[in-house]
Structure 1
């Protein structure tokens, strides 16, 4: 899932398509380098491998690049993971005024195709120790992620820490992603007093997340 304004974030800074293209090119010059395998990908798929230094994630320590492409096998899990980190950002920003209007979010899907993957939801990895879905302690998953990359593993399938029964996929190698990304659904995230409300466009589906 991504914020829907990813499509137009630089439009308001330029007077036309030519100026916007130049602005994007200048911005690319100062961004961290993409790994070679990600350069063939559209930016929506490539960007996660470019960023993350200084910010740890479940399968990657803070001092390691490239980043990892995180996805979920169903949209409800993707919404839950995204909502969790949005609420974390709110909680870490004292005095921050939460947005009063909904934030548009876009869910998209992509094919992952690799012969070198580990399924942490199946034997021999599903023993419950260590916990791959520990909500706070990433030491075991980060150690596994580092060892998996060293061994040439391209993707990890793991239980979600934010939605019971949900399954996430962590893509370590950009070569495992098969473009193009495909639109899946549109959502609106609204900050409410006790947390966050996610509603699906043109649907009665809504998910509420408490602080």
Structure 2
């Protein structure tokens, strides 16, 4: 199953990077956003789940590095930075800028998802709980950024002039809606799934209640 998930993630990357989206993203903001969402909300979770619990699960070797909440904060900073008008324009107009943007999106997405789901079924309750917070935090900041773009009264990116009969503002509104519907929803579902898993698991990692006595103690 891990191999299938990993190959599925690679297939999604191929669709995002080798299909028509890179060319579309040069003209349409919603095309750029769709490519972004396929990477961080499609390919990244599939790749991370394909690695989780296997020999390439780096979260087992470096748990301090793959901590869900710091990973989600770092991803927040990276995503908002690349959506600043200057950096967004750089990624749109220069091939090396697009490679840097998309590569960093993939690395940050895998980092967040592997931090949350790393270890497979052997992850501790503490990691699962931190994973819930990290994924829900990411869902919240994607919702906020998407809403700002979808509800803005003027274009944030002056270098976009619209696409296919849409105005620049309509194109931007559609891009914001794509971020909310795909990105924020994917991370929300991941957080809710981890919450359910956390509730189903025995509290083996929890400390014993204060004052509890052992059944094997002296008579």
Q: TM-score, normalised by structure 2?
A: 0.22
From the CA coordinates, give the structure whose radius of gyration is larger: 2
Tell me which protein shows more helix as a share of its residues: 2
